[in-house]
Amino acid sequence: MNVTKKELGKSVVELNVELSLEEFNPYIEKSAKKLSEEIKIEGFRPGKAPFELVKQKVGEMTILEEAARLAINGTIWEAIDKNLGASPIGQPQIDILKLAPGNPVAYKITISILPEVKLGDYKDAKVKEDAVEIKDKEIEKMFTNLRESRVKEALVDREIKDSDKVLVDIEMFLDKVPVEGGQGKGVAVIIGKDYFVPGFDKKLIGAKKGEKVEFGLPYPKEHYQKNLAGKMVEFVVKINEIYARELPELNDDFAKSFGAKSLAGMRGDIKKELEHEKKHQTEEKAEIKMLDMILEKTKFGDIPELLVQSETEGMIEELKRTIESQGGKFEDYLMSVKKTYDQLTLDLLPDALKRVKSALMIREIAHVEKIEVSEKEVYEKIEEILKQYQGYEKVAERVKELDYRRHLQNIMANRKVVEKLREFNITK
């Protein structure tokens, strides 16, 4: 087998492979035998017909084409392993260059490779991780949310009071012209909580079912709707329904309804939960800062377009799953942000490139620091996942697949690298 290598730039390599006629002949014989098993030739059992009869039946080029496929499958990875000099990514593109009776066969492999990564200093970033502190107001906010989850509501026929829930129809105007998208029917407003703009809810106090309330309010200058920010907006609000709301008392019985032994015990549980959550957030914040600092000192060869494209597609799939898990539709999301699929793809490219660079950097650090994940560690993690999702057959099937094991091994290795980098770079 003769192989010549050509660098095409942007981490793409071309390998031209030629098999001599002597090397190719065994594949021609295998091809003829395979074809004879698939077609019927009078007087011969499947796979037993002579070469010349098979050639007469299907044509010599059919035999050669199948032989070329077999030859490529049998030699491609040997050619790549011995001649590439770098780790391949993605599936190689194959083109047959020469295929004729009585001649050698030649084919071309075009494949992307991982770019060169030159690490800078990755051991002395001196990133400080914030201390975790839970304030009383954070605990009280959690209690408020839990009480809201158990609120009792009753339809009433009276004027609106503070803390009521009101269902209203809303029309918004700017200089007496209806605001685009500024109409809403059956909108729920809780009196005492800020709505469109500060003070909106208070304007409804005293109104009754069936009445219309008209008023104007200035939108905050920093409001995200730029066409309304800093302007006086007129509202016409029709009252449809009024509900009195009764929040449960904050006592031991309330705590027991959530599985706690007492209100004091529940307060302690909430504090621990908030500490755990905030600890995770501060750790993640410090890690992102650390990785960004190391990334700035790392130099990369040409990043293959294939890697960035694949990462972008992955990010879009993540976004789709998030939207659908919340009951939305991806198409509606695109309409809401006024972007096409292609425009969203372009917007995500910078972040996708950063993700790819980070992954390549972590991979190189793992190589330098000799950080690996053993098969035993992967097996133990899979067993842990299977126990966690016991009874979920689809999860069990997915976890046992080879590509998932490789994916899991990669995630575990990345985590090991980040933990090692934390030792080098983060102080508490």
Q: How confident is the model at residue 45 (pLDDT cuts 50, 70, 90)?
A: low
47: pLDDT strictly greater than 70: no
| Mean pLDDT computed over 284-296 | 96
Q: How confident is the model at residue 114 (pLDDT cuts 50, 70, 90)?
A: confident
Per-domain boundaries in the chain: 2-113, 152-246, 261-427
Q: Give the pLDDT of residue 84.
A: 84
Rounded CA gap, 189 and 422, in Å?
46
**Least confidently predicted of 42-51, 198-207, 417-426:** 42-51
Contact assessment for residue 34 and residue 49, using Cβ atoms and an 8 Å cutoff: no
* CATH class label, 152-246: alpha beta
pTM of the model: 0.67
Rounded CA gap, 228 and 149, in Å?
33
**What share of the chain has pLDDT > 90, as a percent?**
67
| Mean pLDDT computed over 314-343 | 90
**Least confidently predicted of 7-21, 43-57, 222-236, 266-280:** 43-57
Q: How confident is the model at residue 262 (pLDDT cuts 50, 70, 90)?
A: very high
Contact assessment for residue 404 and residue 398, using Cβ atoms and an 8 Å cutoff: yes
Q: How confident is the model at residue 52 (pLDDT cuts 50, 70, 90)?
A: confident
Q: Give the pLDDT of residue 49.
A: 74
Architecture of the domain spanning 2-113: 2-Layer Sandwich (3.30)
167: pLDDT strictly greater than 90: yes
Contact assessment for residue 253 and residue 238, using Cβ atoms and an 8 Å cutoff: no
Beta bridge partners of 214: 236
Q: Give the pLDDT of residue 406.
A: 82
Q: How confident is the model at residue 390 (pLDDT cuts 50, 70, 90)?
A: confident
Q: Give the pLDDT of residue 43.
A: 66
Contact assessment for residue 252 and residue 246, using Cβ atoms and an 8 Å cutoff: no
| Mean pLDDT computed over 233-256 | 96
Rounded CA gap, 21 and 109, in Å?
20
Architecture of the domain spanning 261-427: Orthogonal Bundle (1.10)
* pLDDT tens digits along 192-217: 987 768 899 999 999 999 999 999 99
| Mean pLDDT computed over 142-170 | 95
Beta bridge partners of 96: 107
* pLDDT tens digits along 391-411: 888 888 888 787 788 889 989
Q: Give the pLDDT of residue 317.
A: 93
Residue 176 identity: K
Rounded CA gap, 238 and 171, in Å?
9
Q: Give the pLDDT of residue 181.
A: 84
| Mean pLDDT computed over 20-34 | 91
Rounded CA gap, 208 and 239, in Å?
7
**Least confidently predicted of 42-56, 60-74, 131-145:** 42-56
Pick from 372, 352, 307, 303: nearest CA to 116: 303
Sign of the alpha-carbon dihedral angle for 287, 290, 292, 294: negative
Per-chain mean pLDDT for the chain: 91
**What share of the chain has pLDDT > 70, as a percent?**
98
| Mean pLDDT computed over 19-30 | 93
> What b/e string do you get for 21-36 counting C-beta neighbours within 10 Å, with b at 16 or more?
eebbeebbeebbebbb
